Structure 1
Amino acid sequence: MRRLQLLLVLYLCVGTFGKARISNGLIVPSGMAPWHAGLYTKTSTPYKQICGGTVIAKNVVVTAAHCITQDPNDNMPAASQFAVAAGKIYRPWNDIHDVGAQKSNVSEIKIPPRYQGALANFQDDIALLILVNEFRYNEYVQAACINFSADFDEEQLEEGKSGKVVGWGLTDENSPRSQVLQAATLPCVNINKCIAQSPLSFKSSITGDKICAGYTNGTAVCRGDSGGGLVFSSKVDGFVRFFLRGIASTSPVTENMCNIYTWATFTHLLRHEHFVKAYVPDVEEFCAPRFNDAFQFRLTGSDRRPKNNICPCTCPETE
C-alpha cells in the first residue's frame, strides 16, 4: 500500500477516471481494521476480489456503486453474483492463513436512484450490500462508526487531518494487486484546492458529494481499492473509535495502471444520510467499542512490503 490510488469500476478505465488502489502502504496486522470487507464476484472459481467495503451493521456492507455496475441503465447484475468477506488479511477467498474471516452471500443491492455512473461523473457512487448471513462481532470483525453530525464531520475532515484506508489494490504504477491487506494514512485536501489543482479533464468528477484526500508523492489508492472506507479516529468514552467518512471512488488516470502521484475523491457519507438510513435506520447505534490502542500505524520496517513486491506470506498472483 505504497500509493493509494483510486481506479474505478472493477478493472476498467472510463475516460479520465481510474479505479482506486493502495500504493506505498503498510501491511495490516490481523484485527487492526475489523470494519474492512472484501467484495467478490462469484462468476469464477475461486471467487475473485474486485473491491473493498466497510461493515456498518451485522448484515450491511457499504461500498462504491461503480463496483457493482458502470451503467445502471444496463442490466444490473444480480445480487446472487456477489459475496462479501470480512476479517480477512489475505486477498484470496479461501486463503488458509486467515484466522478471523467471516463470509456471506449478498441478498440485495441498494444503489441511489440518481446514480448514473460515468454519465454523471460517478456522483452518488455508493451502494449498500444486504447480506444473507449476519456477521458476528469479535476482535476480527466490527462495524465502523457512523455519525451524521455535520459539526463532528467538519471537525474530522479539517484540511490536513489524516484518515486511514486499507485495501488489496495495486501497490505501484503497474504492479499486481497485493495479496495481503495494505494500509495508508491520507490527509484531507481542501475541496477548492482539489478542484483548482486537478487536471481539467478530472474536475467534473469532483461532484458535490465528494471529498478529496491523499498525497502527490506516491502514496495513493489504486485499482482494487475502490469501495473501501476512509475512516477517521476520535476518542469517545475513553476508547479510540473509527468513523467512516468517505468511500473510495475516483482519481485522475495516466498511461499507467495506477496514478500514484495524485489525490483521490471519496464519496462523502454525510451527503447520503437519508439513503443509508432508509435501509439501516439505526446505523449510528452500531459503533462497537475499540481497543484503547486500536489501529495504530506504528509498524516496524520489517512490516513494510518488500521493494521487490514479494509478499512475506503469500506470493502475488498475476491478474
Structure 2
Amino acid sequence: MILLCLFVACFGVAAYAKNVPVPRVSQGYLVDLATAPWHVGLYRKTASSHKQICGGTIIAKRVVITAAHCVTKDRHIVLPASQFAVAAGKIYRLWNDIHDVDAQKSDVKEIKVPPRYQGAVTNYQHDIALLLLTAHFNYTDHVKPACLNFDPEFDEKQLQEGQWGKVVGWGLTGKNSRKSEVLQGATLQYITIDKCIEQCPAGFRSLITGDKICAGYKNGTAVCRGDSGGGLVLPEVVDGIEWYFLRGVISTSPTSAGLCNIYTWSTFTHLLQHEHFVKSVLPDVEKTCGIFGGIRLPRLVDSNQRSENCKCVCTSGT
C-alpha cells in the first residue's frame, strides 16, 4: 500500500511512512493558482533548507488540513511542530523559488491528530491532521480556503458515482518518475465504496476503512508519492458562483512494481466522518468560506442549524 503524499507526483507518499501506499498526480495538467488557491505545500525543515513532503488544504487563516501520516511516525507519535512549515500561493515546489512572487509562508505552531490514529496498525483509519500556524494567511485571489460543509444530504449529493473532484500537488508524475517541479492538477471521478472494494487489488481492501472514500481512474491519471495530505474538492454552483467543497484528504493507494500504481483508485479520508475532530479546533469552520473579497457564501445547512430545526422528542426507556 502507498501513502498518498501529494508532493511526490501531484500527491504522494508520506516521507515517514514505510511500506505504505503512496499517492501522486500522474498525467495531470499545469495549475493556475487561481483555480486551486486552497492548496499548500507541507515542508519539513532540514539543516540546509525545507523539503516538500506532502500537501494540505487551507480551511482558515491559521489552520491547514493534511494527512496524519505526513506528520507522525511509529504508529501515532506526532513529530514536533517546529519541524514543519507550510507555503501557499506556490506554483514551484522548491521552498524559495524566486518565481513564486505571491507565496505566503508560515511555520507550524501545533499539530492536532485524532487520538485513535494508529497508522498501519489500524490501516490508516483517522488519517487526518490539523496544522495550527504561527502566522495567518492574507486571503487573495491566489490564497483562499476551501469550503467545508458537514450536512450529510449535501455530502451525499456531491458524492455520486461519476461526479468529478479536483486534486493538485507536486507528487510523482509517472509510475517511476521524479517529483514534479511545478504544481500539477487532475480531475478524478468519485467511485462508490462497493465498487472500490470489489474491484481494487485484494491486498488493498483492508485499507478501505470506514472513514474512507475512493476516487480516480484506471487510465494513468492518479495521485501518488508526494501528494498525500492534499484535498479532494468538488464543485457546487451557489447563486451563479462555482465554489469548491473539501470532501476528502489524500490518504493511501495500492502499491505496484513501480514507485506508484497509476492504474488504480486511491482512498481519501472522508471529511464528513471527522466533523467533531475538525470542529473541536474550529467550531465555526462552515462559516469561513466566502467571507473574503466582500462575498459571503449563502449557507447550506450546518450541523448546529440541523439540531435547532429538529422537531423530534426524546423519551426515556421507562
Q: TM-score, normalization: structure 1?
A: 0.87
Contact residue 239 and residue 290 of structure 1 kept, 8 A: no
Q: Which residue of 1 aligns with 2:32?
A: 29
Q: Deviations over 1:6-61 (max 9, x none)?
A: 653226442xx321110000000132210000000012422000000000000000
Aligned to 1:228: 230
Query: Is 1:196 aligned to 2:221, yes or no?
Result: no
Matched, 1:59 2:62: yes
Which residue of 1 is the match for residue 13 of structure 2? 8
Classify the secondary structure of the residue corresponding to 2:120. helix
Q: Residues 233, 115 of structure 1: CA spacing in aligned structure 2 closer, same or farther, 3 A cutoff?
A: same
Q: Distance in 2 between matches of 1:4 and 1:259?
A: 12
1:85 match: 87
1:137 to 117, 135, 139: 139
SS of residue in 2 equivalent to 1:234: strand
Alpha carbons of 1:91 and 1:25: their partners in 2 closer, same or farther (altered >3 Å)? Answer: same
Identity %: 61
Give 1:176's aligned residue. 178
**Matching residue of 1:45:** 48
Q: Does structure 2 conserve the Cα–Cα contact (< 8 Å) formed by 1:7 and 1:251?
A: no
Deviation, 1:239, is 1.2
Asked if residue 150 in structure 1 is aligned to residue 155 in structure 2, the reply is: no
How many Å separate the matches in 1 of 2:142 and 2:148?
Answer: 19
Secondary structure of 2:22's aligned partner: strand
Counterpart of 1:61, as a letter, is: V
Q: Which amino acid aligns with 2:48?
A: T
In 1, the alpha carbon distance for the partners of 2:163 and 2:124 equals 25
CA contact (8 A) 1:144 1:287 kept: yes
Aligned equivalent of 2:106 = 104
Superposition misfits of 4+ residues, deviation over 4 angstroms = 3-7
**Alignment-mate amino acid for residue 38 of structure 2:** W
Distance apart, 1:5 and its partner CA:
7.9
2:242 is matched with: 240
- Note closer, same or farther for the CA distance 1:198–1:237 as it changes in structure 2 (3 Å cut): same
Tell me how far 1:236 sits from its aligned partner.
Answer: 1.1
Q: Which blocks of at least 5 consecutive residues in structure 1 are unaligned?
A: 292-319
> In structure 1, what is the Cα distance between the partners aligned to 2:241 and 2:291?
7
Letter paired with 1:18: P
Query: Which letter does structure 1 place at the counterpart of 2:31?
Result: V
State the secondary structure of the residue aligned to 2:273: helix
Amino acid at match of 1:197: Q
Q: Whose Rg is larger?
A: 2
Matched, 1:19 2:14: no
How many residues of Structure 1 are paired with residues of Structure 2 in the alignment? 287
TM, length-normalised to structure 2: 0.87
Amino acid at match of 2:25: I
Distance 2:10 2:124 in 1: 16
Aligned residue runs from structure 1 range 281-296, under 5 A: 281-288=283-290
Gaps in structure 2 of 5+ consecutive residues: 1-5, 294-318
Q: Which residue of 2 aligns with 1:270?
A: 272
Per the TM alignment, residue 200 of structure 1 is displaced from its structure 2 partner at its CA by: 1.5
Shift of 1:86: 0.6
